[in-house]
Protein backbone atom coordinates (compact mmCIF):
# COMPACT_ATOMS: atom_id res chain seq x y z
CA UNK A 1 0.00 0.00 0.00
CA UNK A 2 1.37 3.38 -1.00
CA UNK A 3 0.11 6.13 1.30
CA UNK A 4 0.36 9.62 -0.12
CA UNK A 5 0.79 12.09 2.75
CA UNK A 6 -1.88 14.80 2.84
CA UNK A 7 -0.21 17.78 4.44
CA UNK A 8 -1.53 20.96 2.83
CA UNK A 9 -4.86 22.60 2.13
CA UNK A 10 -3.78 23.18 -1.47
CA UNK A 11 -3.27 19.44 -1.84
CA UNK A 12 -6.90 18.85 -0.81
CA UNK A 13 -8.03 20.86 -3.84
CA UNK A 14 -5.75 18.76 -6.04
CA UNK A 15 -7.30 15.56 -4.63
CA UNK A 16 -10.76 16.87 -5.53
CA UNK A 17 -9.58 17.51 -9.10
CA UNK A 18 -7.72 14.18 -9.26
CA UNK A 19 -10.86 12.30 -8.17
CA UNK A 20 -12.36 13.08 -11.58
CA UNK A 21 -9.74 10.73 -13.06
CA UNK A 22 -9.32 8.13 -10.30
CA UNK A 23 -11.13 7.58 -6.99
CA UNK A 24 -9.23 8.91 -3.99
CA UNK A 25 -9.44 7.66 -0.40
CA UNK A 26 -8.53 9.93 2.49
CA UNK A 27 -7.72 8.18 5.76
CA UNK A 28 -7.81 10.52 8.74
CA UNK A 29 -5.58 9.05 11.45
CA UNK A 30 -4.95 10.09 15.02
CA UNK A 31 -1.45 8.98 15.95
CA UNK A 32 -2.50 9.06 19.63
CA UNK A 33 -5.43 6.66 19.28
CA UNK A 34 -5.16 2.87 19.50
CA UNK A 35 -8.44 2.38 17.58
CA UNK A 36 -7.11 4.56 14.79
CA UNK A 37 -3.89 2.53 14.71
CA UNK A 38 -5.90 -0.70 14.54
CA UNK A 39 -8.06 0.62 11.69
CA UNK A 40 -4.93 1.68 9.79
CA UNK A 41 -3.27 -1.72 10.27
CA UNK A 42 -6.43 -3.52 9.10
CA UNK A 43 -6.60 -1.35 5.99
CA UNK A 44 -2.95 -1.95 5.19
CA UNK A 45 -3.22 -5.69 5.79
CA UNK A 46 -6.30 -6.16 3.60
CA UNK A 47 -5.41 -3.62 0.89
CA UNK A 48 -5.52 -5.35 -2.47
CA UNK A 49 -6.19 -2.43 -4.80
CA UNK A 50 -3.79 -1.63 -7.60
CA UNK A 51 -2.43 1.90 -7.95
CA UNK A 52 -4.75 2.25 -10.97
CA UNK A 53 -7.87 1.49 -8.89
CA UNK A 54 -7.59 4.12 -6.18
CA UNK A 55 -5.15 6.61 -4.66
CA UNK A 56 -4.79 6.45 -0.88
CA UNK A 57 -4.06 9.61 1.08
CA UNK A 58 -3.00 9.67 4.73
CA UNK A 59 -3.81 12.60 6.99
CA UNK A 60 -2.12 12.89 10.39
CA UNK A 61 -4.86 14.61 12.39
CA UNK A 62 -2.58 15.69 15.19
CA UNK A 63 -0.25 17.56 12.84
CA UNK A 64 -2.93 18.84 10.44
CA UNK A 65 -6.20 19.49 12.27
CA UNK A 66 -6.84 22.45 9.93
CA UNK A 67 -6.97 20.10 6.94
CA UNK A 68 -9.32 17.76 8.77
CA UNK A 69 -11.63 20.68 9.54
CA UNK A 70 -11.57 21.71 5.89
CA UNK A 71 -12.39 18.15 4.80
CA UNK A 72 -15.44 18.13 7.08
CA UNK A 73 -16.60 21.47 5.69
CA UNK A 74 -15.85 20.73 2.03
CA UNK A 75 -17.56 17.34 1.97
CA UNK A 76 -20.25 18.02 4.60
CA UNK A 77 -19.20 15.09 6.76
CA UNK A 78 -19.03 15.00 10.53
CA UNK A 79 -15.42 14.85 11.75
CA UNK A 80 -14.47 11.51 13.28
CA UNK A 81 -11.21 9.78 14.02
CA UNK A 82 -10.27 7.47 12.55
CA UNK A 83 -12.26 8.09 9.40
CA UNK A 84 -12.03 7.19 5.74
CA UNK A 85 -13.63 9.10 2.91
CA UNK A 86 -13.97 8.03 -0.71
CA UNK A 87 -13.82 10.94 -3.14
CA UNK A 88 -15.16 10.36 -6.66
CA UNK A 89 -15.85 13.04 -9.25
CA UNK A 90 -15.15 15.77 -6.72
CA UNK A 91 -17.61 14.55 -4.07
CA UNK A 92 -17.48 12.32 -1.03
CA UNK A 93 -19.46 9.24 -2.02
CA UNK A 94 -18.68 7.14 1.04
CA UNK A 95 -17.34 7.66 4.54
CA UNK A 96 -16.88 5.42 7.53
CA UNK A 97 -15.24 5.61 10.92
CA UNK A 98 -13.67 3.59 13.67
CA UNK A 99 -13.91 -0.19 13.30
CA UNK A 100 -16.39 0.12 10.42
CA UNK A 101 -13.42 1.04 8.21
CA UNK A 102 -12.77 -2.00 6.02
CA UNK A 103 -11.43 -2.68 2.54
CA UNK A 104 -14.64 -4.57 1.70
CA UNK A 105 -16.77 -1.53 2.55
CA UNK A 106 -14.46 0.68 0.52
CA UNK A 107 -14.84 -1.71 -2.43
CA UNK A 108 -18.62 -1.43 -2.18
CA UNK A 109 -18.28 2.34 -2.21
CA UNK A 110 -16.12 2.14 -5.32
CA UNK A 111 -18.61 0.04 -7.26
CA UNK A 112 -21.75 1.90 -6.14
CA UNK A 113 -23.36 4.17 -8.68
CA UNK A 114 -23.45 7.71 -7.40
Q: 68, 59 in Cβ contact below 8 A? A: yes
Residue 112 pLDDT level (bands cut at 50, 70, 90): confident
Give the pLDDT score at 51: 84
CA atoms within 13 A on the CB side of 39: 25
Give the pTM: 0.94
How distant, in Å, are the alpha carbons of 2, 14, 67 from that of 10? Answer: 20, 7, 10
Sketch out the chain's domains with CATH numbers: 3-111 (3.40.30.10)
**How far is it, in rounded angstroms, from Cα 13 to Cα 63?**
19
Per-residue pLDDT tens for 12-61? 999 999 999 999 999 999 999 999 999 999 999 999 998 899 999 999 99
Per-residue pLDDT tens for 55-94? 999 999 999 999 999 999 999 998 889 999 999 999 999 9
How close are the terminal C-alpha atoms of the chain, in Å? 26
Amino acid sequence: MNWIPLDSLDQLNKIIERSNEIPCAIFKHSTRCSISSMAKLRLEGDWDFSNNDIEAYYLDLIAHRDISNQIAETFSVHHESPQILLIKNGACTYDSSHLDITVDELKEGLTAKW
